[in-house]
Chain A
Amino acid sequence: MKNKTSLLGLSSILLGLLAWDLLARFGSLPAFILPSPVDVWVRFLKAVTDGSLFFHAGVTLLEIVMGLGVGTLLATVLGYLVARSRTLERALSPYLVASQAVPLVAIAPLLVIWFGPGMFSKVFICSLIVFFPVLVNTIVGVRAVPAALHDLMRSYHAARRDILFKLEVPSALPIFLGGLRIGATLSVIGAVVGELVGADSGLGFLINVGRGQYDTALVFVALFTLMALALSLYGLVILVERRFLAWQESVER
């Protein structure tokens, strides 16, 4: 059954590649509009051998990892505090809602002006975009801890630390990881948006270079690399879920 599914997926991909190739070959489109799969593959090999792809992908990956890390950390800590205190929630909610209402793509230029074209502005944009889904899911997750289990812990006079690590963390984990899954995908968007606005390295920068030089194959190479990054991050979160949420019915064991 599983073999059949992956076989079907594989043939679908091959068919798509074939269609693309045929369109490029017989569609009478110039290569700078639509390069063929072979052109892209050749460009990919070249970018790999001259080291530029690894360099730029590395820069973007670093921005993503740092942005995801910082954004997740801040959102988790703040989310936990907000979940535990209605007062704090009331005080902060205007900012939280406003931060979500600002279209991040639109303020990216501002952030690049403020923080320069270097890595910092990208990490900043990345953490901003990751922040909200992780925050919301942390709040929801911590609030969803069953009251009866809190009673149980209290009947044992459990220490605050034990309540946090033996009850709240494991109980909130499924919802929290759902937020992280969204955040992981968004973080790639955050980094690329930052790079497109202004950067001297990274995959977004590579896309800009390719566009400027009518090297469309390079744009494709950068795009596919970004997709691979996003999918790997997503897969990583799924692996974490499999490992820690084996007790849930929905997760395959």
Chain B
Amino acid sequence: MPTKPILTVKDLSVVFPDNNGASSPKGGLHALEYISFEVCPREFVCFLGPSGSGKTTLLRALARILKPTSGKVNFIQRQQPKIGMVFQQPNLMPWRTVLDNIKLPLELEGMGDVKARAKAQEMVELVGLKGFEDNWPRDLSGGMAQRVGLARALVHDPDLLLLDEPFASLDAMTRERMWTELSRIWQAKQKTVIMVTHSINESLFLADRVLVLTQRPGKVKLDLKVDLPRPRKDDIRYTPAFGKLALKLRKAIE
């Protein structure tokens, strides 16, 4: 049953100027070239690619941190979608406590302090950090800090959640625990998610659809539907269906 897409990206290209300042079609560093895709509401889409395939650049263009050189990013519901972004590093403000870090997006929207605190507190509980509200970021472990980052990205009820290899800096065990957590939160919050990663397992465990990007300049090479049942548990990675999809992705990356 096809739903109407919430986001359409058409022929998106990003070219960084080279040392001479040239960013013409010939000169400059072509990070992304003619990327086109659509995302449906509440879909979890993963971009998979080797480093240097422009994954982060793609997310930065979607978040409008970066202006694309050409092409269109169209958000259907409103012109300027509300974005929640999780970065490779937790990227917390060290001078704010856990709760105040999570509260930041609400402050920027001009929400009153009492209401903002209450909402941030809800998020603290959702990501399992109750009791750490008043801690400084420096007191948190990598996994906890990344949970704060996730809570901050969700607190203002964004239209689109962008995840930039959010678990890349965590150790393997924490990372796998975070997959389950993210899966649970995604199902609870019903968000549209775009995530980039270089881990096949991660993309298959989490996503509804995996798009494979080629080496620079990045292009979409494969659009794979992941029809694994949900909720997915840890042991799903050892099923034949999972293995088959993983192999397909593996081949596409090469």
Contacts and interface: CB of A to CB of B under 8 A. Distances in A.
Interface of A: 146, 148-149, 151-159, 162, 166-167, 170-171, 173, 245, 247-249
A148 B83 contact: no
A59 B65 CA distance: 53
A152 B85 contact: yes
A149 B138 contact: no
Report the 9 A-B pairs with minimum CB-CB distance, sorted nearest first: A155-B63, A155-B85, A170-B95, A247-B95, A154-B65, A247-B136, A148-B91, A156-B108, A151-B65
Contacts of A159: 108
Interface in B72-106: 80, 83, 85, 87, 89, 91, 93-96, 104-105
A209 to B, nearest CB: 48
A153 B85 CA distance: 10
A156 B96 CA distance: 17
A155 B107 CA distance: 14
Contacts of B94: 247-248
B87 A247 contact: no
Contacts of A162: 107-108
B87 A152 contact: yes
Contacts of B80: 157
- Which of B80, B94, B137 neighbours the largest number of chain A CB atoms within 10 Å of its CB? B94
Contacts, number: 55
Interface string B128-163: 000000001110000000000000000010000010
B156 to A, nearest CB: 8
Contact of B93 (A156, A158, A170): A170
Interface in B170-201: none
B216 interface: no
B141 to A, nearest CB: 16
B64 interface: yes
Contacts of B137: 247
B160 to A, nearest CB: 10
Given A148-B89, A148-B91, A149-B93, A166 B138 contact: no
Nearest to A248: B94
A156 B87 contact: no
Nearest to A153: B108
A151 B108 contact: no
A151 B138 contact: no
Interface in B105-131: 105, 107-108
A148 B136 contact: no
Nearest to B104: A166
Given A151-B65, A166-B107, A156 B91 contact: no
Nearest to A154: B65
A171 B91 CA distance: 13
A250 to B, nearest CB: 11
A176 to B, nearest CB: 13
A149 B137 CA distance: 14
Given A148-B89, A162-B108, A171-B95, A155 B64 contact: yes
A167 B138 CA distance: 17
B93 A167 contact: yes
B42 interface: no
Contacts of B107: 162, 166
29 contacts: A148-B89, A149-B91, A149-B93, A151-B87, A152-B87, A152-B91, A153-B108, A154-B64, A154-B65, A155-B63, A155-B64, A155-B83, A155-B162, A156-B156, A157-B64, A157-B80, A159-B108, A162-B108, A167-B93, A170-B93, A171-B93, A171-B95, A173-B95, A245-B95, A247-B94, A247-B96, A247-B136, A248-B94, A249-B138
A159 B105 CA distance: 12
B232 interface: no
B155 to A, nearest CB: 11
A253 B223 CA distance: 53
A166 B108 CA distance: 9
Contacts of B162: 155
B237 interface: no
B60 interface: yes
Contacts of A148: 87, 89, 91
A159 B89 CA distance: 24
A156 B83 contact: yes
Contacts of A245: 95
Contacts of B60: 151
Nearest to B87: A148
A242 to B, nearest CB: 14
